[in-house]
Amino acid sequence: MTVSQFEQDLLWEPDEPAEAVAGAIGSLRVDGLELDEFGAAVMQRVADGEIDEDEAIAIFLAQYRK
């Protein structure tokens, strides 16, 4: 792999929200982690395009800062 290919892979951004969610969940699983039911539901809303990343973050913060 050339340096430019490496940089391109490193800077890759998904085209669709579902692609981003799949990548995020895959990263969690590589680390041996799984989303709980609440987290999976919020991530599904992102994947479906119902909410964006900022809205998901706000939902997570509101839930887990209680």
pLDDT confidence tier of residue 35, bands split at 50, 70 and 90 = very high
Residue type, 57: I
- Nearest Cα neighbor of 1 from 15, 10, 24 is 10
Q: Using CA of residue 58, residue 31, residue 37, residue 63, what is the dihedral sign?
A: negative
pTM of this structure: 0.75
d(CA 16, CA 49): 9
pLDDT confidence tier of residue 6, bands split at 50, 70 and 90 = low
pLDDT confidence tier of residue 66, bands split at 50, 70 and 90 = confident
Q: Is the pLDDT of residue 11 over 80?
A: no
